[in-house]
């Protein structure tokens, strides 16, 4: 059990009271900056926007994709006693160009190289594998390490040139000698031509043999070893495109049941499908939909109900969805409504018209569970991100920015004031920077380490007080 500090300390008396309080209650989280990476790899600054962030299954590796089609993998350094200040920090492990801009000759269009999603495959041998996708093409990458090389060939010299045989007087067995670590990345599969519309999600099945890719209207099932065909398992394209009123926004396989997957729609519904029921899963097994609140109805009701991300809990019992103003937890056994709803930035509800005007209302925020499914996290504007503790019902707003990114500085909780009493460090709604949006966040699978992408900045924070998951 733990609680968040959500108020600033105001006086010695308050501080004393808090110490007293803390002595009887476990200390709060202290999120501290572990690593801050600035992506500035290309001569075109606009290409350095991080578009996806994903930890691998152990949390040892963290992959980011950006608008320029590059993937950067960070590796956590093992904690060493000799360098205590670099306890398990993340450093760059490998960088490679995953996707290049393509040209569709049929439509005279460029296909964006922006990486929409990265998903790691469970590690099955010494190599790591991940899937990366842009709008149209999914690629499987294999990442291997080389730290030894053979030396002492009989026929070749050190540089690889053939030896003059007359100089060879004895035979030797080549031996493996250590060398500087080299990380090699190679594309193993390219899954192309499966999608007419833009791919928004990929998800690896728990069977580790198949994965799915979803675009606006269709979901395909692929076998990891087969690139020339895929099975279409969901198709919501109407016979007449004029009748199109709903698109697929996200989808994911169940973490344990390889036959179950969920997909979300722009109308705010979730459909759980069972692949054993039919080849084409157009009929959902379960439909999760919350009835509209008539008191809050406006012309923007549908837009703000559109689900931008859906994530199964690690346990597989719950689903987490993000729409424009809230995050919701759904129980797989209850279709009628979510079991929990958390307001991310309800102060924007009265600004929806302006946010529609400047297109911010279409921003797609992601959401994340912590490893024990007790805390959920999502991003917001002004480089703010929010965490909600499902047990204590406390929440906190933190900021990922250069100012707060001093190493080992504890992140200070932030507050947005909506008029009325304004405290010293509060931000007013009208001074929020809507260009600074935290769309992509990820939580380490086992520890309290989070990765936050803010434009071209990657922040990795660690909870120093509670390193392990509660």
Question: What's the rounded Cα separation, in Å, for the pair 142 and 125?
Answer: 11
Q: Which is nearer to other proteins, 96 or 300 (by Cβ)?
A: 300
Name the token pair of 382: 């002004």
Q: Whole-number minimum distance, CB 216 to other proteins, in Å?
A: 4
Binding site for other proteins (CB under 8 A): 104, 106-112, 135-136, 193-198, 216-218, 237, 239-242, 244-247, 249, 266, 298-300, 302-303, 306, 349-354, 356-357, 359, 362
Name the token pair of 24: 């009887």
Q: Whole-number minimum distance, CB 221 to other proteins, in Å?
A: 15
Name the token pair of 115: 């990486």
For the chain, the farthest-separated pair of C-alpha atoms sits apart, in whole angstroms, at: 94
Q: Whole-number minimum distance, CB 114 to other proteins, in Å?
A: 12
| DSSP structural state of residue 292 | P
Q: Decide if 28 contacts 19 (C-beta within 8 A).
A: no
Residues in the chain: 470
Q: Which is nearer to other proteins, 109 or 176 (by Cβ)?
A: 109
Q: Which is nearer to other proteins, 80 or 354 (by Cβ)?
A: 354
Name the token pair of 37: 């990476």
Q: Which is nearer to other proteins, 60 or 216 (by Cβ)?
A: 216
Question: What's the rounded Cα separation, in Å, for the pair 215 and 412?
Answer: 39
Q: Whole-number minimum distance, CB 336 to other proteins, in Å?
A: 24
Q: Which is nearer to other proteins, 22 or 192 (by Cβ)?
A: 192
Strand-pairing partners, residue 201, are: 214
Q: Which is nearer to other proteins, 244 or 277 (by Cβ)?
A: 244
Q: Whole-number minimum distance, CB 324 to other proteins, in Å?
A: 11
Q: Whole-number minimum distance, CB 243 to other proteins, in Å?
A: 8
Q: Whole-number minimum distance, CB 359 to other proteins, in Å?
A: 8
Q: Decide if 387 contacts 374 (C-beta within 8 A).
A: no
Question: What's the rounded Cα separation, in Å, for the pair 358 and 340?
Answer: 30
Integer CA distances (angstroms), 77 to 146, 184, 229, 365, in order: 17, 18, 40, 30
Q: Which is nearer to other proteins, 194 or 371 (by Cβ)?
A: 194
């Amino acid at each position: 059990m733990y609680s968040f500090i959500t108020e600033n300390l105001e006086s010695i008396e308050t501080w004393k009271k808090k110490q007293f309080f803390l002595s009887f209650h476990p200390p709060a989280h202290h999120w501290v900056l572990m690593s801050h990476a600035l992506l500035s790899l290309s001569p075109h600054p606009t290409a350095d926007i991080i578009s996806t962030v994903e930890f691998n299954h152990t949390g040892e590796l963290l992959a980011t994709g950006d608008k320029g089609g590059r993937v950067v993998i960070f590796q956590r350094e093992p904690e060493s006693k000799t360098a205590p200040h670099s306890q398990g920090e993340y450093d760059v492990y490998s960088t490679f160009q995953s996707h290049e801009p393509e040209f569709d000759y049929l439509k005279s269009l460029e296909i964006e190289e922006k990486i929409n999603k990265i998903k790691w495959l469970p590690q099955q041998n010494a190599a790591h594998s991940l899937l990366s996708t842009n709008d149209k093409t999914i690629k499987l990458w294999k990442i291997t390490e080389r730290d030894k090389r053979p030396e002492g060939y009989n026929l070749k010299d050190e540089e690889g040139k053939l030896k003059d045989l007359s100089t060879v007087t004895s035979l030797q067995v080549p031996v493996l000698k250590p060398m500087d670590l080299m990380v090699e990345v190679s594309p193993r599969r390219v899954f192309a031509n499966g999608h007419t519309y833009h791919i928004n999600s990929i998800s690896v099945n728990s069977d580790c043999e198949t994965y799915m890719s979803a675009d606006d209207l269709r979901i395909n099932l692929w076998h990891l070893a087969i690139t020339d065909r895929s099975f279409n398992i969901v198709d919501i394209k109407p016979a007449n495109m004029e009748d199109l009123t709903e698109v697929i926004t996200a989808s994911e396989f169940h973490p344990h049941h390889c036959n179950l997957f969920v997909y979300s729609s722009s109308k705010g519904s979730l459909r759980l499908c069972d692949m054993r029921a039919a080849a084409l899963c157009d009929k959902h097994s379960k439909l999760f939909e919350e009835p509209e609140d008539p008191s809050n109805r406006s012309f923007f009701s549908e837009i703000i109900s559109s689900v931008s991300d859906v994530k199964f809990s690690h346990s597989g019992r719950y689903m987490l969805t993000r729409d424009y103003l809230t995050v919701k937890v759904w129980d797989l056994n209850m279709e009628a409504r979510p079991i929990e709803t958390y307001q991310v930035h309800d102060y924007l509800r009265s600004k929806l018209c302006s946010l529609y005007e400047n297109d911010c209302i279409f921003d797609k925020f992601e959401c994340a569970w912590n490893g024990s499914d007790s805390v959920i996290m999502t991003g917001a504007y002004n480089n703010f991100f929010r965490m909600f503790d499902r047990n204590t019902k406390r929440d906190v707003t933190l900021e990922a920015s250069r100012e707060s990114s001093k190493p080992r500085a504890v992140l200070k909780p932030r507050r947005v004031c909506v008029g009325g009493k304004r405290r010293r460090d509060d931000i007013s709604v009208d001074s929020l920077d809507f260009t600074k949006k935290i769309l992509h966040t990820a939580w380490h699978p086992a520890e309290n380490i989070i990765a936050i992408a803010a434009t071209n900045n990657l922040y990795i924070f660690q909870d120093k007080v509670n390193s392990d998951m509660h």
